[in-house]
Structure 1
């Protein structure tokens, strides 16, 4: 029994010795490789400089197809040591549409009751059509603006139902009778509202814009313009500028349509108004940047991030109209006083000489004013050739220097870039029309934006949301290219939009381009000899008003 005691004393002494054992001093090493330090290696680490932490940004969702894209689209954060921090990257991907099958909408072709059909058509608009129309889900005003307003207005509700049934009729012919009935109800409601003394301008404007969109998607080539003109008259009547053709600014309309809904209505109208000036070769129904917003980084349902570009397109159309009016006035005055001296000295205000042609060809040379040539007065001010030149140069510089606002959706940014390129095409076409001496130089300039549009569209995935408004840049690029590969890409993308979204104005635009490409391949234009055919000639022959919205 005496043995355990000595063992306990021995154990306590060993424990005490372990506790009082001193450790040698160490110095904390903050440099070098952390792996080498932990393994206590005696040789010098040959690693490179300490690596920073990597925080990934959203890419186009195809990082596996393009590994270098992930490296170039990253933000590097410096760290206090050589340790590499693992930071999860963004998993954001662009939404892709999935269209509901027709079978999921039973009874809307006339089998159910009237109220049931209206409810189903309204649900189709909310779940399907409004998504097909918008370029962004975060600001889908087709649903967030029109539907709440429709709860206050049977007229607007009838217009939305007509729009919904009309689109369904494009997918299934059995809905055509229902679509005709719905459109008749919508037009009757609008006529009654316009004839009433108790009118709400925002509701009337909303109805006109819904019907304008409906007619253009149906592939109509005239009725959509009537609704657009009606919308412009509602805006002018509300703002007190019915008989005034001057520009409207955001300040002038500050007390009108200043609600969230009203701001969207102005942007909606501006989009249709500006693009119609391109195909109809005219000035806007309402000029000015009246839809300007304080925060242009918020994507619009129609033109996304390209609000400023839409305004510049309208300014190009105004320049086009001013040059045409100056040329017509000059021709009229020249015909009234035909004299040998005037015929040899007079010069058209829209025809540049050789020296000015060289100026346009060389971007490094500034435009030289030509004050020696008197010009006729247009719109109360003297339009000189130097004025046209400086305006065109200013528009070109602003378009070339413009960059889209920061946005997570890279496809929205790509769409804005295509609109910028399309605006440049519009500008060069206007100059080529009025300044034929500059055709070779302008044709060389046109090749760059055409190529940019084709490359951007080719990279955008099929059925992405911004695809809904690609018709304008696709059409502008298609009208200026003779390259077989570019024509194939443009044609295929337009067919994809027609077959999936069932927007028949895209089909009408493709019909115009197909005829244009065929005539150019034959190198002849009926009635014009060997003149280079343009899509303006095709539209004039068919007497079409083409909607590119």
Structure 2
């Protein structure tokens, strides 16, 4: 129940500090969403709660539908309604609805954008840039943006496409200790940039531009730091996400290099150096696991470690590294019983078995978790 308690605590704290954020007691939709999440989690631990969980989910969806009614929805105070979508998203993930969660994410995106457009039309007839001022102006709104970005940006990695909203809107609102990533929220901006890279070039100019952009992102990532004072384990989580973003960047570069083989002429050496990329990936995996080792097992903060653990497991190069990832995921699953942890571990177990298969022929392409996800045709959210 740690996640539920964390979310509820954050909502209540924000509602006290920010009058524009409707508290759960004042919003039936938000209240029912929290009950749906809690009862759904209980049903995963005790099947006798299944009927109660289904009834709570039905009520929460009904209240969300009413909250979205154009005749009653107050678009000037959208935080609680977007929060409902995000809580229901998390509930779907934890209960194993691997397609349902994305619908709530898309809904949250449209709520954020529609409100932004409404405010701009009222205050700026010319439209202006989408800077999400209406959300950034309140503590609750800033928390919603970080919450949305966490799910949107992390999902872009496993979906293999850019996020629904470019993560640049996070700039200026990550210098806090957040309930999801502690002091690491700023890393989401760079992961968003990596997901937005085009790994299917159409000419040599695209290749040069890709290589230049990768160097920029890598330099930014390596020099990134947080200004908020933080001790372990939050600083360790920040290090794990920083190393994970670098690993993701190198994976994108590796796939890019595979895609352009035989199609273009002389290219920058750093684009095609597979040995160099493999070595950087190896170092990134080692760094991820090093930072994760500093996060105590069963500590509440480890709830956000699924993403770095999965990435590290996908490119683990030794039995000892695989053992570390497996044991940590098994421990997290035993405590939380979240279905996305179970599915992530299953995918890694399949991948590890394929990599150790002695029947592989020389020259066969090494298996990868991206291929396994494509074959399953169900999105995986690592939050």
Q: How many residues align structurally?
A: 353
Normalization by structure 1: what TM-score?
A: 0.61
Contact 1:213 1:224 in 2 (8 A): yes
Instruction: Choose which of 403, 418, 422 in structure 1 pairs with 2:240.
Output: 418
Aligned to 1:267: 146
Aligned to 1:506: 341
Contact 1:130 1:142 in 2 (8 A): no
Deviation string 1:281-318 (CA, Å, 9 cap, x unpaired) is 0011011421333571x211111111221100000111
Aligned to 2:229: 407
Normalization by structure 2: what TM-score?
A: 0.86
Aligned to 2:101: 224
Aligned to 1:339: none
SS of 2:23's partner is helix
SS of 1:197's partner is coil
Is 2:331 the counterpart of 1:496? yes
Contact 1:250 1:290 in 2 (8 A): no
Shift of 1:143: 4.4
Unaligned residue ranges in structure 1 (runs of 5+): 1-124, 135-139, 242-248, 331-348, 350-372, 376-383
Shift of 1:132: 5.8
The whole-number CA distance in structure 2 between the counterparts of 1:469 and 1:458 is 14
Contact 1:450 1:477 in 2 (8 A): yes
Seen in structure 2, the aligned counterparts of structure 1 residues 438 and 295 have a Cα distance that, compared at 3 Å, is closer
Contact 1:160 1:210 in 2 (8 A): yes
Shift of 1:256: 3.9
SS of 2:133's partner is coil
Contact 2:199 2:255 in 1 (8 A): no
Instruction: Choose which of 49, 55, 61 in structure 2 pairs with 1:187.
Output: 61
Aligned to 1:45: none
Seen in structure 2, the aligned counterparts of structure 1 residues 279 and 525 have a Cα distance that, compared at 3 Å, is farther
Aligned to 1:159: 33
Is 2:363 the counterpart of 1:534? no
Structure having the larger proportion of residues in helix: 2
Is 2:51 the counterpart of 1:177? yes
Aligned to 2:188: 310
Contact 2:174 2:186 in 1 (8 A): no
The whole-number CA distance in structure 1 between the counterparts of 2:94 and 2:129 is 29
The whole-number CA distance in structure 1 between the counterparts of 2:337 and 2:71 is 38
Contact 1:133 1:142 in 2 (8 A): yes
Deviation string 1:4-51 (CA, Å, 9 cap, x unpaired) is xxxxxxxxxxxxxxxxxxxxxxxxxxxxxxxxxxxxxxxxxxxxxxxx
Is 2:163 the counterpart of 1:284? yes
Is 2:58 the counterpart of 1:150? no
Is 2:283 the counterpart of 1:448? yes
Seen in structure 2, the aligned counterparts of structure 1 residues 294 and 171 have a Cα distance that, compared at 3 Å, is closer
Seen in structure 2, the aligned counterparts of structure 1 residues 524 and 163 have a Cα distance that, compared at 3 Å, is farther
Unaligned residue ranges in structure 2 (runs of 5+): 17-21, 119-127, 259-271
Aligned to 1:13: none
The whole-number CA distance in structure 2 between the counterparts of 1:492 and 1:133 is 27
Deviation string 1:413-439 (CA, Å, 9 cap, x unpaired) is 000000000000110011111112432
Aligned to 1:141: 10
| Correspondence 1:56-455 to 2 at 5 A | 128-131=2-5, 141-145=10-14, 149-200=23-74, 201-240=78-117, 252-256=131-135, 258-293=137-172, 296=175, 298-319=176-197, 322-324=198-200, 327=201, 330=202, 349=203, 373=204, 375=205, 384-436=206-258, 437-455=272-290
Aligned to 1:47: none
